[in-house]
Chain A
Amino acid sequence: MPPPSVPSLLGTEFPFNFLHAEIIKYYIEKHEANKAKRAEFLESTRLSEDSQILESDRNVYNHFALRGNPETRIEALGYRVGYALVEKVARDIPRLSTELEKMKFICKDFWMAAFGNSNSAQFPPFQNIYVVQDNKFFTVASLAEGTQYLKEAAIYLAFPAGVVRGALANLGIKSVVQPTIETLPVVKFNVHLHKSV
């Protein structure tokens, strides 16, 4: 089928990488600041003589203070983006009726339009889990090759994981997308599909 006519990513890849890095930095800093504030609040209530922290208070407090961690928030951003993007990309193609067709669409056309790359392998599904491997994923492409920065690189995959999840959700498939890295820049996305029928 003819490739979707979405402008190629190459022109905008450069500014997007900067924006993405700043978003990540912002959320991490905000999270740290919130943690510090919470600790300070706890300290001050502990030291003040008029108040005591009862067990019930602690639960309420935790409930209030519990903000999502950066990964969850960034993934939620990606969800909205993926939801809208798939509407654009899937506009001119014929109908996708089966789940397999939809996954193929995501792995080929949508991946090319959204991430500018072709992934080399789409393993046949094992019990509803598709493994999509991309050999040079663009958000981590500029990090050092190999295994040096695995932990730091993990958060750079939160946004794309959200994009894939949002895309699948708009096509009618509930899923959970988990990115994993063994060696940079090869990234595997484990897509767990929720069985709808």
Chain B
Amino acid sequence: MLLCISILAADQPPLYFRCIPCDASRENDLRLFVYSSLDVFDEKATSSRPDQELFLGSLFLNNKFKSYGYLTNTQIKFLAVIDATNPTLKEQDLRALFKKVHQGYSAAICNPFYELGTPIQSRALNALVDNRVD
């Protein structure tokens, strides 16, 4: 079950973080987990395959959460965290999800009222998380 989506850029405060409605301590855990996965991001981005793909695959696991990453050509990182105890989402679903997040992100960037580097507020992106809860 999808728990949260986060968009981060290099050298900037996080652009977007949205998790399913839950209590504050869980949200903090999720945020911490997202930031810990960032290190794996850099590893995967520099080392691994002669990467033809933007999707980076599973990044980090602990008992509760599992995170997946996606790095765009413009060095923007997308992270999705799913519940480790309930693996209903498969990799294919996550690839499709990331495609949608990418579309939502480029749409948000194209908004002329959006200032680059500030947190993104987008109903389309919010809908991605909210609609996945069921």
Contact = CB atoms under 8 A, between A and B. Distances in A.
A156 to B, nearest CB: 22
B130 to A, nearest CB: 23
A72 B53 CA distance: 37
Number of contact residues on A: which range applies? 10 to 19
B28 interface: no
Interface in B32-55: 51-54
A96 B52 CA distance: 8
Contacts of B72: 87, 90-91
A94 B53 contact: yes
A84 interface: yes
B73 interface: yes
Interface in A146-171: 170-171
B51 A87 contact: no
Contact of A170 (B74, B102, B112): B74
Interface in B69-114: 71-75, 102-103, 105-106, 109-110, 112
A90 B109 contact: no
Contacts of A86: 74
A88 interface: yes
Contact of A84 (B52, B75, B102, B106): B106
Contacts of B109: 83-84, 87
A152 B128 CA distance: 49
B133 interface: no
A170 B111 CA distance: 16
A95 B101 CA distance: 17
A91 B53 CA distance: 11
Contacts of B103: 91
Contact of A171 (B52, B74, B110): B74
B52 A94 contact: yes
Nearest to B115: A80
A91 B105 CA distance: 10
A99 B116 CA distance: 23
A70 to B, nearest CB: 20
B73 A171 contact: yes
A12 interface: no
A88 B112 CA distance: 14
Contacts of B73: 90, 93, 95-96, 171
Interface in A71-119: 80, 83-84, 86-88, 90-91, 93-97
A172 interface: yes
Q: Which 10 A-B pairs have the closest CB atoms?
A: A94-B52, A87-B106, A90-B73, A84-B110, A170-B74, A84-B109, A88-B106, A95-B51, A87-B109, A96-B73
14 contacts: A80-B112, A84-B109, A86-B74, A88-B110, A90-B72, A91-B72, A93-B73, A94-B52, A94-B53, A94-B54, A95-B71, A97-B51, A170-B74, A172-B75
